[in-house]
Amino acid sequence: MKRTTLAAMALFTLSATSAFAESVISITDAKAFETAPSALAGGGFMQITNTGTTDDRLVSVEADFPRVEIHTTEFTDGVARMMHIDGIDVPAGETVTLEPGALHVMFMGLQGDPLEEGETVPATLIFEQAGEVPVVFNIVKRDMAAHNH
């Protein structure tokens, strides 16, 4: 079923940013933070804007890791609960932000190949309407404000 969707959406793939697509998705500030050498997971963050006229939904993310999922983190009385979710709605005319402590793309199974500053993570975002949207996550150092140690 996913394959069919992909095929059907193939037309939209190349035109995802052109004006005649119903859902027009653009991605800004796609980034992931560098991880420790032995880290098993990393997070991907970005802003997804739908400038089209149809609501859309990010349903999966593909990248070269053993597992990639869409996650959110909720807080209840100081307890953080990170969980796998089915997708992220991106209504027409709106921007959704994936940011630390909330929605994120979870890259899992980094074993031995950490995210390193200056490298990139190429990925494909799959939307219900816009189809495949390529994105490149830039790996950046964590902002330590005044202290870059």
Partner 1 sequence: MKAVIFGTTTLAAAAAIGLYVWQSQPTTLCGDTAVAGSAIGGPFELVSETGETVTDADVITKPTLVYFGYTFCPDVCPLDSARNAQAAYMLADQGIDIGTVFISIDPQRDTTQVVGEFTDNFHEDMIGLTGTPEQVKAASEAYKTYYRAVEGDPEYYLVDHSTQTYLMFPETGFKTFFRRDTTAEQIAETTACFIDELS
**Residue 46 or 71 with smaller CB distance to Cu ion:** 71
From 109, 122, 134, 136, residue interacting with partner 1 (rule: CB under 8 A): 109
Which among partner 1, Cu ion, none contacts residue 1 (Cβ within 5 to 8 A by kind)? none
Per CB under 8 A, 79 contacts partner 1: yes
Taking CB under 8 A as the binding criterion, the range among 5-13, 17-25, 52-60, 137-145 that sits at the site for partner 1 is 137-145
Query: What token pair was written down for 122?
Result: 């190429």
Instruction: List interacting residues with Cu ion (CB under 5 A).
Output: 71, 82, 106
- Chain positions 36 to 75 lying near partner 1, rule: CB under 8 A, are 36-43, 45, 67, 73, 75
Contact 46, 30 (CB under 8 A): yes
Q: Using DSSP bridges, classify how beta strands 131-140 and 25-33 pair: parallel, antiparallel or unpaired.
A: parallel
Distance CA 46, CA 88 (A): 12
How far apart, in Å, are the Cα atoms of 83 and each of 14, 48, 80, 91, 106?
32, 20, 10, 22, 10
How far apart, in Å, are the Cα atoms of 141 and each of 5, 31, 60, 103, 146?
37, 10, 26, 19, 13
Q: How far is the CB of 65 from partner 1 (least distance, A)?
A: 10
Query: Binding residues for partner 1, per CB under 8 A?
Result: 33-43, 45, 67, 73, 75-84, 100-101, 104, 106-109, 142, 144-147, 149
